[in-house]
Amino acid sequence: MKHMLKYILKRLLIMVITLWVIITLTFILMINIPGSPFNSDQSSNETVQANLEAHYNLDQPYYIQYLLYIKSIVTFDFGPSIKQPNQTVNDLLSRGFPISFELGIITIVLAVISGILVGIIAALRHNGFLDYLTMGIAVLGISIPNFILATLLIQQLAVNLEIFPTATWRSPAHMVLPVLALATGPMAIIARLTRSTMLEVLTQDYIKMAKAKGLSPWKVIFKHALRNALMPVVTIMGTLFAGILTGTFVIEQIFAIPGMGRYFVESINQRDYPVIMGTTVFYSAFLIIMLFIVDVVYGILDPRIKMHQKGGK
């Protein structure tokens, strides 16, 4: 337990450092993009602009600005948005994030469960019709970008057949198309990976041994094979989740979902500095935590991976 605690503390420290690097890089990138939040305001004259800059501390030297950003992150108060009047960054996050999160989580659950199931079926029917069929579809799923798929889905299922609503985020029916569009790619990746690791695991002696014990095929697959086959799948899940959670922007745009992705991209276009920093920090922190969880799950799945031990078999 002591080792475990030490490990977690060490990981937390690394997470903080990672986050700091991200913040710093974002800050450097941000001040280097040409333009300022007030450039596009034609009405403003130079005095007004100077006043505005002073109001948002943009007239300060960079290192002061940098320290101010760090302070805002530590206190988790990103201040007011420059472009959205009377709204703080925290307001935007607390409004947008739950929706993005909902979309992301439903997508992930769907992608993981169906991906793994399809992968198992394909592995069990190795070189059979179902294997070729599912893997063929999976290749399509990986190759087609989600925004193309989204438009196709809208055209066929929403416009032509009128089964699902075209856009917005109000009821479960509204969720179907965006979730499908977003989940297909990761689902295909997970299915292919599960299939290949499953095929490898199924040839192992301990699977033969499980069969020799007279266990049912169900137990052989889910108790003995799947757990071992999931290791590589869990590994890629961290990055896949990041892809889903950040990749929601395009899908949110297409389906007019009022999530976080919109603020993320708009803030960059409009040079809305506090929002850029807020969303970036938020996403990064979220991703780093996800990766940490993946590592913990890894240790639970495979007892050989002891988080507090160095090396060893």
Give me the residues that bind other proteins (CB under 8 A), please.
204-206, 208-216, 219, 223-224, 227-228, 301-304, 313
Structure token pair of residue 195? 């299939």
What is the smallest separation between the CB atom of 132 and other proteins, expressed in angstroms? 16
What is the smallest separation between the CB atom of 203 and other proteins, expressed in angstroms? 9
What is the smallest separation between the CB atom of 138 and other proteins, expressed in angstroms? 24
CB-wise, 10 or 208, nearer to other proteins? Answer: 208
DSSP line for 182-248: HHHHHHHHHHHHHHHHHHHHHTSHHHHHHHHTT--HHHIIIIIIHHHHHHHHHHHHHHHHHHHHHHH
CB-wise, 174 or 224, nearer to other proteins? Answer: 224
One-letter amino acid for residue 169 of the chain = W
What is the smallest separation between the CB atom of 312 and other proteins, expressed in angstroms? 8
CB-wise, 99 or 301, nearer to other proteins? Answer: 301
Q: Which residues contact 221 (CB under 8 A, 6 or more apart)?
A: 120, 124
What is the smallest separation between the CB atom of 301 and other proteins, expressed in angstroms? 7
Query: Would you say 97 and 282 are in contact if contact means Cβ atoms under 8 Å apart?
Result: yes
CB-wise, 132 or 206, nearer to other proteins? Answer: 206
Q: Which of 230, 225, 223, 195 is nearest to 207 (CA)?
A: 225
- CA–CA distance, 137 with 179 (Å, rounded to integer): 18
CB-wise, 167 or 207, nearer to other proteins? Answer: 207
